[in-house]
Structure 1
Amino acid sequence: MTQEPRFEAALAIHLFKGGRLLLDAGVPFGVVFGGTDVNEDVKDEHKRAVMEEVLHTARFAVAFTDKLKERAEELLICASKKIYVQPQGIETRVASHFSWSDFLHRTGVRAKQEENVRVFLLVCGLRRVKDPLYLLEVFAEWHSQNPLVALIIIGPKIDPVFTTEVEESVKRSVGVYLAADLSQEELHAAMQKSFALVNSSLSEGMSAAILEAMDLGLPVLARDVPGNAAIVEHEVTGLLYSSPQEFVSMSRKLLNDHELEERLVRNGKNYITTCHNPMEERIAYQKLVETLH
C-alpha cells in the first residue's frame, strides 16, 4: 500500500483477515464479509473489536445473503445502511487436458471397474471449521459394503497441524482418499467427472464449491447449516443432511434414483443462472467501487 504510485482505493475480502490490514493504509476502502467473520471470528473479543473498527472505517460492506447481513447486524456494532447484499457470481472453466483416470490413480483410488466408481468429492481448505473428517467413519463402512463408492477430500493445506490429523485419519481408513490440490480449471474438471459434491462444514458463508458444482451439473449433498441452507433447497437444488447416517441414506437414494439426480442438476443450474449471474455481480461492484473516489 506504500508503493508509488500509491493506490487510490482498496477492496478487502474478510473483515478480519483482510480489512484489518487497511485500517492504517490511508486510502478509502470497502470490505466483503466472509462466513468466517460472522460464524467464527466474532466469538473472539479481539477479532470482533477489530472487525467493528473495520466496519466503522469502511465506506461499504458486502454480504452474500440477507441472512449473513442480519447476522452481522446482530453481532457487530455497525451502520445497517453500509451493508449491501450481493450474491457471488459464478463462472466455471474446465481444463481440457485433465485426465480423470490419472487423477484417480494419483489419489490412490483402485477399482477393477474404474468407469463405475462413484466419486463423492469433498472440496475444502483443510481447517477445522470445514470438518472434512465428519463423514469418515460412516463412509468407510459404506465403502466396505459397496466398494464402488469413494470419498475424495481435496483442497489447500491451510492448517498444518490439522492437515496432519486429516492425513493420518485417511491413511487408517478405507474408501476415503486425500487428493493433492489442483488448479481451479483442473478442479472444475474433476468436479464434472464426479458423482456428487459434498460439503460437511460446521459453518459457511456462501460456499463457492457448492455453487460451482451446481453450475457444472453436479448434484450437491450439503450439511444442514444456515449458510448452506440459504443456497440449497432440500430435494430441489440439492440435498441437506444433519448427520453422517443421514448423508449415507441420502447418497444411497441419489445413486438409485435417476429422476431425483436429474431434477437436482436441472434446478441447480437454473438457480445459478437466475441468482448468481457474474455480470450482475460485476456491475454491482463497479457501482460500489465508484463510491470510493
Structure 2
Amino acid sequence: MKILLCCPYPLAEARGNSVAASRLAAGFRRAGHAVAVLAPPEVDDPAAVRSLAGRFRPDVVLVMHAWRCARAFEALGGEGFLAGRETDDPCDRPRRAGGEADRTPAGPFAARETGVSRGHPSRPGYPSELVPVGRPPTRRETDRARGHPGGLGEPADLLAAGAPPRVVSLRGTDLNEMFDRPDTAAVVRAVLDASAAIAVFHAEAHQRLVRAGPGWAGKARLIANGVSLGCSEVDFRGRLGIPRGAFVFGAVAGLREVKRPLLVLPWLERLRGSEPRVAWMHAGGPQEPAMAEELRAFARGRPWVFHLDHVPPAEIDSFLRAADVFVAASRSEGMPHAVREAMLAGLPLLLSDIDGHRAMAVPEREALFFTDEAGFLGQARRLLTDAGECRRLGSAARARVEADLARDDEIGSYLALFSEVLGRAC
C-alpha cells in the first residue's frame, strides 16, 4: 500500500500533529508500506500537492487536520469548495504557501535557554509494541514504488487517474473549535462530507461528531492516539536554575489561547503565600504573540516562573520528570500528546475538566480535575502535602496509558481502515 500523509506543521516541530504524523509514518513503513509526507510549505500549495501526489500515486491519503489541511484535501480531490475562501487560521501563526517555510519568532524567554538545544531533532524510534507485525509489500506495490526512492515515479495527472480515497483524522481543534466558527465550519463540513472515512480519538468525540452530522456516523471510526516516551538524562532543574527543594508544577503547551497557559499562574501566586516553595515550569512556543507577551509581562519580577520556548522531543521525558505535578488547563482538547506523555512519565495530573481530558483519565483514580480557582487550589494543596497521593496518582496514570497501548493498535487500526476504504473503492 502507498500512503500519503498530509501534516499541517513541519514534522520536526514539537506539536501534537507533527509527533503523530512522524509516529504513523514510521509505523506504516515498519509494516511494509511506502509512505510520503506532505508538510509545510508544500501542504499549503495545491500545485505542489498535486505534483507530489501525481508522482507518488498514493493508494490512500491520511489528512491529519480537516481545517488546516483543507487546501491539500481539495487539491487531491478537485471539489472546488475552497473557491473564494481564506483557509489561514487567524488564531494560528502565519503560513505561506508556495515556497516560504514557517518561521516562528523567538519567544519571550529565548535568552534564558542557555545550554538547551534549540534544534529540532526528529522523533526517536518508537517501541515495537506500538507497531503490529507487518506483511511484505505486494508485487504491485513493489513495482509501483521502483520509480524513485520512497516510491516516487514519473509525474502523472492524479485527478485524471481518479482521486485516491482520503481519510481524515479529526483533531481536537477541528471538533472543538472549527465546527463552532462561522468562518471555518463550512470548510470543515465540506472536507468531512468528501472524505472516505473519519478517524476520531475517543467515544466522546465520536458522539459529538455524529450530533454535528448524523450522515457521518457510517464512516466514523474510533482510533486512539498512540504515544511513546524517550529515555534521556537532562537536568532541566539545574539548567533553569530552579531552587533545590522547590515543588514544581509543570506544563507543556504552545502559547495560544485555547491552551490557557496563563490561567493558573495567578492562582499559584496566591498559593505561594502559604507555600513559598511552589514554582512553575512551562515549555511551549510563542504561537500567538499576544499570549507570549502576556507571559513575558507576568514573569517579570517573578523568579519562580520558568519557561522554555522549545524542548527537543528527544528530551521531553527529562523535562516532564523535572516536575512534581503536570498541569493541563486547556479549554478544549482532542487527545493531547503532552498529557499522555506525562502519564507515561508517572506524573500526577491536575487537569481542566473537559471532555478531552476525561476521555484519558478517571477523576480521583488517574488524575485530579478542576473547574475554577477554588478547585485548582484545593487539588494543588492535596498534592503539595501528600507525597503518597502523588505517587498513587502517577502510578495509576502510567498504568492506564500502558494498558491503553496494549489494547489499542493505532497502526493496525489505521491500516485496517485503509483496507476497508480501498475495498469499498474497488
- Scaled by the length of structure 2, what TM-score is found? 0.63
In structure 1, the partner of 2:75 is: 24
1:65 to 202, 212, 224: 202
SS of 1:74's equivalent in the other structure is helix
Which amino acid is the alignment partner of residue 336 of structure 2?
S
Q: By how many angstroms is 1:45 displaced? A: 2.2
Distance in 2 between the 1:79 and 1:198 partners? 34
Residue 104 of structure 1 pairs with residue 155 of structure 2: no
Do the aligned partners of 1:127 and 1:158 also contact (CA within 8 Å) in 2? yes
Which amino acid is the alignment partner of residue 286 of structure 2?
K
Distance in 2 between the 1:101 and 1:66 partners? 38
SS of 1:91's equivalent in the other structure is coil
CA RMSD of aligned residues (A): 2.0
Which amino acid is the alignment partner of residue 270 of structure 2?
E
- Residues 31, 74 of structure 1: alpha-carbon distance in 2 compared, 3 angstrom cutoff: same
Distance in 2 between the 1:47 and 1:78 partners? 19
Do the aligned partners of 2:240 and 2:306 also contact (CA within 8 Å) in 1? no
Mapping of residues 44-83 of structure 1, within 5 Å: 44-76=181-213, 78-83=215-220
Residue 15 of structure 1 pairs with residue 105 of structure 2: no
Distance in 2 between the 1:173 and 1:7 partners? 55
- Residues 217, 14 of structure 1: alpha-carbon distance in 2 compared, 3 angstrom cutoff: same
Q: By how many angstroms is 1:118 displaced? A: 1.5
SS of 1:23's equivalent in the other structure is helix
SS of 1:46's equivalent in the other structure is coil
In structure 2, the partner of 1:199 is: 328
Distance in 1 between the 2:418 and 2:300 partners? 47
Distance in 2 between the 1:288 and 1:178 partners? 41
In structure 2, the partner of 1:270 is: 399
- Residue deviations 1:204-224, cap 9 Å, x none? 111211111111111110011
Distance in 1 between the 2:298 and 2:179 partners? 30
Residue 121 of structure 1 pairs with residue 172 of structure 2: no
Residue 93 of structure 1 pairs with residue 230 of structure 2: yes
SS of 2:67's equivalent in the other structure is coil
- Residue deviations 1:38-59, cap 9 Å, x none? 2111111231111111111111
- Residues 219, 54 of structure 1: alpha-carbon distance in 2 compared, 3 angstrom cutoff: same
Distance in 2 between the 1:214 and 1:83 partners? 27
- Residue deviations 1:175-198, cap 9 Å, x none? 333223101121221102210110
- Residue deviations 1:71-96, cap 9 Å, x none? 11212464201110111122111323
In structure 2, the partner of 1:209 is: 338
Q: Which moved more, 1:157-166 or 1:263-272?
A: 157-166
Residue 180 of structure 1 pairs with residue 309 of structure 2: yes
Q: By how many angstroms is 1:7 displaced? A: 3.9
Q: Which moved more, 1:77-86 or 1:120-129?
A: 77-86
Which amino acid is the alignment partner of residue 183 of structure 1?
P
- Residues 164, 77 of structure 1: alpha-carbon distance in 2 compared, 3 angstrom cutoff: farther
SS of 2:75's equivalent in the other structure is coil
Distance in 1 between the 2:292 and 2:72 partners? 27
- Residue deviations 1:238-260, cap 9 Å, x none? 10011123212211111222332
Which amino acid is the alignment partner of residue 317 of structure 2?
H
- Residue deviations 1:87-142, cap 9 Å, x none? 1122111323x12343322xxx3x3xx1x212111111111011111111111122
Which amino acid is the alignment partner of residue 166 of structure 1?
L
Do the aligned partners of 2:259 and 2:331 also contact (CA within 8 Å) in 1? yes
Distance in 2 between the 1:78 and 1:122 partners? 38
Which amino acid is the alignment partner of residue 239 of structure 2?
F
In structure 2, the partner of 1:147 is: 276
Percent identical across equivalent pairs? Answer: 24
Distance in 1 between the 2:369 and 2:299 partners? 24
Q: By how many angstroms is 1:153 displaced? A: 2.0
1:233 to 348, 362, 373: 362
Do the aligned partners of 1:140 and 1:173 also contact (CA within 8 Å) in 2? no
Residue 221 of structure 1 pairs with residue 358 of structure 2: no
- Residues 193, 79 of structure 1: alpha-carbon distance in 2 compared, 3 angstrom cutoff: same
- Residue deviations 1:9-64, cap 9 Å, x none? 32111211124421221432111111111211111123111111111111111110
Which amino acid is the alignment partner of residue 72 of structure 1?
L
Distance in 2 between the 1:229 and 1:44 partners? 24
